Structure 1
Amino acid sequence: METGKKRELSIPDVLDNDHGLAGREGEQQQQEQERGEGGGGEWLGWARLKFDEPPVRTHHFYRQFRADFSSSTPSPNRSNFLKGIKWSPDGSCFITSVEDNSLRLFDCPVVDDGTQVAYDYASGEDSYNSKLVIQEGESVYDHCWYPFMHSSDPATCVFATTTRDHPVHLWDSISGQLRCTYRAYDNMDEITAAYSVAFSPSGTKLFAGYNKAIRAFDLHRPGRDFEHYPTLSGNKDGLPGIISCISFSPYNGLLAAGSYSQTTAIYAENTMELLYLLHGQLGGVTQVLFSKDGNYLYTGGRKDPYILCWDVRNTVSILYKLYRSSESTNQRIAFDIEPCGAHLGTGGQDGHVHVYDLQTGQWTASFQAASDTVNGFCFHPSLPMAATSSGHRRFFIPETDEERIVLSGSFLTSFALSMAFILCLLLVASKYDPLWIFLHVLATYISCSTKATCCHPYT
């Protein structure tokens, strides 16, 4: 990917508060822009990216996600894989979600002289190690960065995570320490886990998606205080199912939420009034994303090969569909829009990243990013680079005769004990029949002389 000279953008002013977190209330940051059809207008602060030539892979990370993948003996992390990747808002680092319930933070790879050097596959080594590893207790459902995060202000360097059977956590991206937790309780007064999280554009609230409900936490008041907004009540129209993803419009005060019931809803952020219900996804909705001008909404689902484009000003029909290879996977396959808003990039099961022109909805380019499922794709917020994550769950089956699992001993022991029980019943019925005595002695001999053995390839 190539780009012209980038114009400097001013970093938004951020005000500290008593809790050490930065927030902004009231007016949102206003930026000049040129709006185009399909949400593809070029932002005045950015130059358009060009996709005439395939990008150069400059960095690669693999080995640190596995304990010992080169050994003939499988390691505990042999089936580990990446589930997603997201750049920080200031572009100084990116975070990855991993199947082993961990999140790894990597610094942004910066080349001082501005040259692009291709990754040397012959070395087989990772480009560099993660600077921070955070271990969660259960599987990570979702994570998101604080919108005004900037490395020059440590108070803003935080991100939120939600995991199975745990409350929402707010982590310090510098020290790796847990800042605070946000807990939601069900009708039985038990902690219920959120399935999705997203910060409001003002940075003052944290929205979390639950089963048929959205809860909003005040970022500066951790604990169990929250605002509860049911998405489905009574016989009224609403958003059923688990709220799997949340996204905010950058300008017009709208909130979009997707659910696994193949439905997307658009709300007014300040009142949470339901405005539109969007139907058309073939699978459960896994991502919703507004265009840079806020006039268009893009939705994608699992086991659904199409990303749908909606005009929020006229939601009667779908504007166009963008194809990606995701027909046979329940994985979340993320897509992203470049900073200038002209193109959308998405991964897929075929290992390719496909890029589409958002003005026309036409395919622009594609390139091979991995030999596995590309489940994460994210443009850098200011530099001409992008990051991908790939992988899917695998089950390893022994291939040689020496690795077969042998359970003959334990099977014979169980068989002998069963025979002894049956013969006891025959004892009552036959009243010491000579044939029964012979069988009883034989079964006793087998049960005493047989030793249980279990040969496992990992021991």
Structure 2
Amino acid sequence: MSGTYFPLHTTLDQDGLKNSLAQNLQPPWKRYDCVDIQYERQNLQSTKGLNFFQALKWSPSGGSIVVLTENQKLTHWPISTTKTDTNEPSLTFDNSGKNAITPSECIYSFTWHPSRNNQKLDSDLIAFSTRDYPIQIYSLSKQQRVSSFYVVDHCERFIGSHCMDFSPDGEYLIAGGTNNFYLFNVHLGQKSPVSTTPTSGHEIPMWEPTLDGVQSSICLNPQDPRTMALGTFNNTVGIYDIHRSRPCQLKFSLANGTGVTHMRWSSDGYGLYVGSRRSTQIEVWDIRYAQDMLYEIKGHNGDTNQRIVFDTLGHEGLVSGGTDGCVSIWKGSQLVEKENVTNQRNITVAAVEKHPFDSSLFALCYGRRCDIMDDEDGFSSIEYWETPFSSLQLLGMENGLA
């Protein structure tokens, strides 16, 4: 597999690039394996029981995937490697090692613990947050909860977190709330937060920047894990130092969308990619000079309330799904690759994540709720109902982008 993914299109203008992409009927993508959820019309009595993939996360070592489905289950799929007749490695989902977590309520967010298990090369722990319950850390091998952490409001009700992340050493769990974010010490096992940092309210002086509303996305800087980007459903982003008494370093508001849904840092730790609801652009900000954004990645096709997860590739590279059923790759603001992965059905690709150690290997999922339509809407054909409406896939780029 080549390590070069981004060609220089120095002789093509934007129209020429679009025509080149349209004529490239066989992009250098290889599908290793996929798991489909298929609906059959004759078995449909109502919309209850329909299901689709919503989100996924690679394990820290890349040996497995945890995926969230609409029925509010977290399914853990190990990835196995086998040899084909041509002696090329083939990756498959290991159904024999699959197991599922069924929380009591709606799942708000989930994330892997970064530390490895003593007997295995991969992490065994996953944290998830649900509505009206404490945050739980769950052991996949033991199939049981090993720890829990809670935040309560003034009425002593549990507060669920819409975004969480672990520090790289696994010692702390950072959880977003409403006008506060919380720090839990995982090693000590203390149930309540070891620190609560207000982002808005009377505790913050008038001259300090504030971040109002429900916090929706957390992203730790890869070059400085103390530095954290915190996004809200109010479409604002704040830069914080999680261990300082005056944590808010910078605040800016997005020009597009109605609420931050996903963020990624660039590899150098200076650029921040921000996606939002109901937006067809991904905004790129330089936290050193945040008076104006650096540039917009247009054609993102994110005009939906659904959270669309994207990932970075090398320097100024980005890979993302969208509502058009395609996986797209940009170099800076320039589109360099586009591939429809939904059999031309234009179902929203909700998540695309690269392998933690192999930038040519991706996991993605797409799906949508399927409601029973009248014939006038054009969705009642047998062919439509017998086609998979949701899929979890492993894709690779064998030869880079030609």
Task: Tell me the TM-score normalized by structure 2.
Answer: 0.77
Choose the corresponding residue for 1:106, options 60, 71, 77. 77
Deviation at 1:107, TM superposition (A): 1.2
Paired position in structure 1 for 2:363: 387
Kept after mapping to 2: 8 A contact 1:162/1:168: yes
Q: Is the 8 Å Cα contact of residues 325 and 350 (structure 1) preserved in structure 2?
A: no
Q: Residue 446 of structure 1 corresponds to which residue in structure 2?
A: none
- Describe the SS at the equivalent of 1:206: strand
Q: Name structure 1 gaps, 5 residues minimum.
A: 6-51, 120-125, 401-459
Q: Which residue of 2 aligns with 1:431?
A: none
Q: Percent identity?
A: 25
Q: Distance in 2 between matches of 1:133 and 1:386?
A: 22
Q: Which moved more, 1:285-294 or 1:85-94?
A: 285-294
- Which of 297, 300, 306 is residue 275 of structure 2 equivalent to? 300
Partner residue of 1:224? Answer: 192
Give the structure 1 partner of residue 179 of structure 2: 212
Query: What runs of 5+ residues in structure 2 fail to find an aligned partner?
Result: 5-25, 377-402
Alignment correspondent of 1:233: 201
The verdict on how the C-alpha distance between 1:376 and 1:293 changes in structure 2, with shifts beyond 3 A counting, is same
1:278 and 2:252 equivalent? yes
CA contact 2:353–2:362 (8 Å) conserved in 1: yes
Q: CA deviation at 1:356?
A: 1.1
Map of 2:144 onto structure 1: 177
Question: Partner amino acid for 1:96?
Answer: V
Contact 1:324 1:346 in 2 (8 A): no
Native 8 Å contact 1:245 1:287 kept in 2:
yes
In structure 2, the partner of 1:40 is: none
**Corresponding residue of 1:336:** 311
Cα offsets for 1:220-244 (capped at 9, x unmatched): 2242243111111235531111000
Distance in 1 of aligned mates of 2:364 and 2:213: 30
Counterpart of 1:80 in structure 2 is 51
| Distance across 1 between alignment mates of 2:170 and 2:184 | 11
Deviation at 1:369, TM superposition (A): 1.7
What is the alpha-carbon distance in structure 1 between the residues aligned to residue 167 and residue 356 of structure 2? 18
The CA deviation string for residues 366-391 of structure 1, in whole angstroms up to 9 with x for no partner, is: 11122311001010112331011111
* Counterpart in the other structure of 2:62: 91
Provide runs of 4+ in structure 1 moved above 6 Å: 116-119
Shift of 1:267: 0.6
What does residue 325 of structure 2 align with? 351
Asked whether 1:196 is paired with 2:163, we answer: yes
Query: Which stretch of the first structure deviates more once superposed, 249-258 or 233-242?
Result: 233-242
Q: How much does 1:108 deviate?
A: 1.5
The structure that is strand-richer by fraction is 2
Deviation, 1:75, is 7.1
After TM superposition, give the deviation of residue 104 of structure 1 in Å: 0.6
Distance in 1 separating the partners of 2:290 and 2:83: 47
Query: Quick one: distance in 1 between partners of 2:193 and 2:340?
Result: 46
Task: Name which of 363, 371, 381 aligns with 2:335.
Answer: 363
Moved more, 315-324 or 99-108: 315-324
Cα separation, 2, equivalents of 1:161 and 1:286: 17
The DSSP-based 3-state class of the residue aligned with 1:240 is: coil
Normalised to the residue count of structure 1, the TM-score between the two structures is: 0.68
Offset at residue 172 of structure 1 (A): 1.1
Computing the radius of gyration from Cα coordinates, the structure with the larger value is: 1
Q: Is the 8 A contact 1:167 1:194 kept in 2?
A: no
Q: How many correspondences in the alignment?
A: 341
Whole-angstrom CA distance in 1 between matches of 2:91 and 2:109: 32
Q: For the Cα contact (< 8 Å) 2:111–2:164, is it kept in 1?
A: yes
Q: Which has the higher contact order (CA 8 A, sep 6+)?
A: 2
Aligned equivalent of 1:251: 223
Equivalent residue, structure 1, for 2:131: 164
Summarize the Cα distance change of 1:299–1:233 in structure 2 as closer, same or farther, 3 Å threshold.
same
Q: Aligned-pair RMSD on alpha carbons? A: 2.7
Q: Distance in 1 between matches of 2:217 and 2:308?
A: 12
Deviations along 1:135-183, one digit per CA (max 9) or x if unpaired, are 0112211111112346854894211111112211111122332111111
- How far apart, CA to CA, are the structure 2 residues paired with 1:217 and 1:353? 36
Give 2:32's match in structure 1, choosing from 49, 55, 58: 58
User: For residues 185 and 138 of structure 1, what CA distance do their matches in structure 2 show?
Assistant: 17
CA shift, 1:54, in A, is 2.9
- Once residues 317 and 122 of structure 2 are traced to their aligned partners in structure 1, the CA distance between those partners, rounded to angstroms, is 33
Cα displacement (A) at 1:329: 1.4
Q: Kindly provide the amino acid, as one letter, of the partner of residue 323 in structure 2.
A: Q
**Residue 59 of structure 1: SS of its match in structure 2?**
strand
Partner Cα separation in structure 1 for residue 145 and residue 248 of structure 2: 34
Task: Give the conservation status (yes or no) of the 8 Å contact 1:59–1:127.
Answer: no
- Select the structure that is richer in helix: 1
User: How many angstroms does 1:295 deviate by?
Assistant: 1.4
The answer to whether the 8 A contact 1:61-1:127 is kept is no
Q: Are the equivalent residues in 1 in contact too, given 2:82–2:91 (CA < 8 A)? A: no
Sort the Cα spacing of 1:254 and 1:127 in 2 relative to 1 into closer, same or farther, 3 A: closer
Q: Indicate which of 228, 241, 256 corresponds to 1:268.
A: 241
Conserved 8 A contact 2:60-2:122: no
Q: Whole-Å Cα distance in 2 between the matches of residues 388 and 101 of structure 1?
A: 18
CA distance in 1, matches of 2:59, 2:117: 8
Change in 2 beyond 3 A, CA 1:135/1:268: same
Residues in 2 aligned to 1:3 and 1:174: alpha-carbon distance in whole angstroms: 35
